[in-house]
C-alpha cells in the first residue's frame, strides 16, 4: 500500500475549499444579462433580465428601437415594448441590482426579479427617458407562462410575507427627471414582498402617474418617501396590498391629489405625512379597503403635519398646522417631526447665524425655550436674533473701512494744504 504524503499546498487547497463553502452562500451572485425573452401567453412584448449585473439604459442608436442597454462587457438595443428586470427570473439565488436610466423608451422597469427571485438590494435611478411603469421591487405577476412552457401559478393572496417567493429586502428608487406615464411604486407587483422601500422624487413628469409608497397586492413592511420636486398626479401610501408603515415628506413639487392612506382599495397600518413645502391641490385622508379612514385627531395610526407650502383643498379638516416666521434676520428656525412615538409633535430648534444669538422665541406670542415641542394644532412660531457682540467681525470690517476712508481724506487734505502753502 502506497503511503500518501500530504504537503503544505494540499492543506492550503482544503482550507480554501472550506472557506469558500462558508462564504459562498452569503455572496450576492451576478451573471451575464439574458437576451430578449418572449413569453408564451404574454402580450406586452419582450423581457430582459440583468441577473444582478449593473446596467445603464440610454437612447437607442437605431430609430426603430426603444433603448440601448449597456453593461460591463456588452450591450443590446431593445424595442420600446421591452420589460427590464434588475434581478433573476425564477431563480431564488440572492443578488443585488442596479439600473440607471439616462434616456430611451422602456415599458416596465423592475429593480427585483420576476416570479421566484431574491434581491437583497435594488437601486433604480431615472434621470431621463420614457417609462410606462417603474418599480424597485420585484414582480410575482405579469405573466403566467414562461418560455420553456412550464406553468407558473400566481401566489395566493393569503400567502404570508415570509413565504412569498418574490423578495426584495432593500428597494431604492430615485427619480431625477424623465417621464413616467403609468405607475411609480416603492414596492413590488403582485404577491411579492419588499422589506424596506425608499422612494425619492426630485424632479420629473409624473403628471399622469399613480405614485404609491408601497406596491400592489403584496406586502411592503416599511416605506419612506421624499418628494422634493416634480409634477405628480396622485400620491397614496398604499395601492392594493398591505403597507405596514409609511412615512412621506413633501418639501417641494406639485401634487394634484395626496391621499394619506389609499385612494380606495389599499390596506395600511400606519401612515404619516409631513408637508414642509410644495403645492398640493387636494389633501385627503383617503380610504382603507374602500372604507373612510378614521379621524386623524389623536389617532396614532394616521397623522398629517402641515408646516409650510400650499394646500388648496384640505379635506382632512384636522391637519396639524404650524406656521413659522419665514423672514428672520440673523438665524433660522428648524421644525422636525418627532418619530416614531410622537408623530403628531414638532420639535422647534433655532440656529443663529455667525455673530448672532437668539434674543427671543415666541409661540403664539408666548415666550418659550430655545428648543421645545409644539402640541397645538395651529400655532405661530417666530424668533428674533441679535448681534452676539458689538465688537463682532462685521463691526471690525466696518471700522477698518471707516479708518481707511478717514485716512485717505486726511492725507488728501494735508496734500492740498501743503501745496497751497508752497504757492
The reported pLDDT for the residue numbered 30 is 82
Could you tell me which residues are beta bridge partners of residue 197? 171, 223
pLDDT recorded at residue 419: 62
Residue 114, C-alpha cell as written in the block: 420576476
Contact 82, 74 (CB under 8 A): no
List pLDDT tens digits, range 257-300: 999 999 998 999 999 888 889 999 999 999 998 898 876 655 66
* pLDDT score recorded for residue 198: 96
For a pLDDT cut of 70, what percent of the chain falls above it?
A: 75
Comparing 29 with 192, which gets the higher pLDDT?
192
Helices (H) and strands (E) in the chain, counts: 2, 28
Q: Residue 302 — very low, low, confident or very high, per pLDDT cuts 50/70/90?
A: confident
d(CA 136, CA 344): 30
Q: What is the pLDDT of residues 5-24, one digit of tens each?
A: 333 454 444 444 444 434 44
Query: 208 CB contacts (<8 Å, ≥6 apart)?
Result: 180, 181, 182, 233
Q: Is residue 191's pLDDT more than 70?
A: yes
Among 83-97, 106-120, 147-161, the minimum mean pLDDT is found in 147-161
Write down how long the chain is.
423
CA torsion, points 37, 40, 42, 48, in degrees to nearest 10?
-10
Who's near 253: CB < 8 A, 6+ residues apart? 201, 227, 228, 229, 230, 231, 232, 278, 279
Nearest to 295 by CA among 267, 315, 322, 265: 315
> How far apart are alpha carbons 136 and 184 in whole angstroms?
9
Q: What is the mean pLDDT of residues 88-100?
A: 95
Task: Note the pLDDT tens digit of each residue in 359-414.
Answer: 888 888 888 888 888 766 677 888 888 888 655 455 555 556 656 766 666 676 66
pLDDT at residue 16, as a whole number: 43
Q: pLDDT band at 85, cuts 50/70/90? A: very high
What average pLDDT is seen over the chain?
82
Amino acid at each position: 500500500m502506497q503511503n500518501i504524503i500530504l504537503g503544505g499546498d494540499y492543506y492550503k487547497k482544503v482550507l480554501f475549499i472550506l472557506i469558500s463553502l462558508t462564504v459562498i452562500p452569503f455572496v450576492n451572485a451576478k451573471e451575464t444579462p439574458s437576451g430578449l425573452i418572449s413569453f408564451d401567453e404574454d402580450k406586452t412584448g419582450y423581457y430582459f433580465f440583468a441577473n444582478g449585473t449593473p446596467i445603464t439604459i440610454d437612447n437607442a442608436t437605431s430609430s426603430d428601437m426603444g433603448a440601448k442597454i449597456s453593461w460591463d462587457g456588452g450591450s443590446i438595443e431593445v424595442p420600446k415594448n421591452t420589460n427590464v428586470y434588475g434581478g433573476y427570473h425564477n431563480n431564488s439565488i440572492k443578488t443585488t441590482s442596479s439600473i440607471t436610466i439616462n434616456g430611451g423608451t422602456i415599458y416596465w422597469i423592475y429593480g427585483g426579479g420576476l416570479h421566484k427571485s431574491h434581491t437583497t438590494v435594488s437601486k433604480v435611478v431615472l434621470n431621463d427617458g420614457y417609462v410606462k411603469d417603474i418599480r424597485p421591487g420585484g414582480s410575482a405577476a405579469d405573466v403566467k407562462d414562461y418560455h420553456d412552457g412550464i406553468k407558473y401559478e400566481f401566489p395566493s393572496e393569503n400567502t404570508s410575507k415570509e413565504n412569498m417567493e418574490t423578495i426584495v429586502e432593500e428597494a431604492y428608487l430615485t427619480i431625477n427627471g424623465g417621464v413616467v406615464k403609468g405607475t411609480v411604486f416603492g414596492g413590488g407587483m403582485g404577491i411579492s414582498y419588499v422589506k424596506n422601500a425608499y422612494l425619492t422624487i426630485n424632479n420629473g413628469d409624473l403628471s399622469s402617474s399613480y405614485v404609491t409608497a408601497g406596491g400592489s397586492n403584496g406586502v411592503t413592511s416599511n416605506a419612506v418617501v421624499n418628494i422634493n420636486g416634480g409634477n405628480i398626479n396622485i400620491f397614496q401610501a398604499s395601492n392594493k396590498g398591505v403597507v405596514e408603515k409609511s412615512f412621506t415628506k413633501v418639501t417641494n413639487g406639485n401634487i394634484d391629489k395626496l391621499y394619506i392612506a389609499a385612494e380606495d382599495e389599499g390596506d395600511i397600518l400606519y401612515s404619516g405625512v409631513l408637508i414642509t413645502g410644495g403645492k398640493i391641490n387636494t389633501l385627503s385622508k383617503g380610504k382603507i379597503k374602500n372604507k373612510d379612514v378614521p379621524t386623524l385627531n389623536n389617532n396614532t395610526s394616521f397623522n398629517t403635519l402641515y408646516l409650510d407650502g400650499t394646500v388648496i383643498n384640505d379635506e382632512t379638516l384636522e391637519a396639524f398646522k404650524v406656521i413659522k416666521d419665514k423672514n428672520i434676520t440673523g438665524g433660522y428656525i428648524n421644525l422636525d417631526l418627532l418619530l416614531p412615538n410622537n408623530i403628531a409633535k414638532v420639535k422647534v430648534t433655532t440656529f443663529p447665524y455667525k455673530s448672532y444669538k437668539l434674543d427671543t422665541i415666541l409661540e403664539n406670542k408666548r415666550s418659550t425655550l430655545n428648543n421645545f415641542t409644539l402640541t397645538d394644532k395651529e400655532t405661530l412660531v417666530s424668533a428674533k436674533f441679535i448681534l452676539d457682540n458689538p465688537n463682532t467681525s462685521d463691526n471690525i470690517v466696518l471700522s477698518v473701512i471707516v479708518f481707511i476712508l478717514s485716512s485717505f481724506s486726511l492725507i488728501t487734505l494735508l496734500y492740498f494744504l501743503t501745496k497751497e502753502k508752497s504757492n
